[in-house]
Amino acid sequence: MKRLMLCEEKSRLLDAYVTATERQAEAVKALSAVAAKDNRTAFRKALAHAEQARQDAEEARLALHLHSKTHGC
């Protein structure tokens, strides 16, 4: 049976990933609210913010995955 060990770095990376995904969800919610209005400038700004949040979440996920793979935790 394989034990799941949570090292300090993995815990930090997991927290960063959770925070990044929460920010992504908030950005998408804001994008949805702006999309209902007819304001292209605000929409483009919200879209850029949502895309950056998505990229940040993906980077955090990859960092967590790579750490787990190389560290074995």
Range of 18's domain?
10-71
pLDDT computed for residue 28 by the predictor: 97
Whether the Cβ atoms of residue 46 and residue 30 lie closer than 8 Å to each other: yes
CB 10 within 8 A of CB 64: yes
pLDDT tops 90 at residue 22: yes
Inside any domain, residue 5: no
The answer to whether residue 59 scores a pLDDT higher than 70 is yes
Is there a domain that residue 22 lies in? yes
Would you say 31 and 46 are in contact if contact means Cβ atoms under 8 Å apart?
Answer: yes
Q: What angle do CA 46, 51, 55 make, to 5 degrees?
A: 150
Residue 40, judged by CB atoms within 10 A of its CB (0-12, 13-18, 19+), counts as exposed
User: pTM (2 decimals)?
Assistant: 0.84
Domain count, the chain: 1
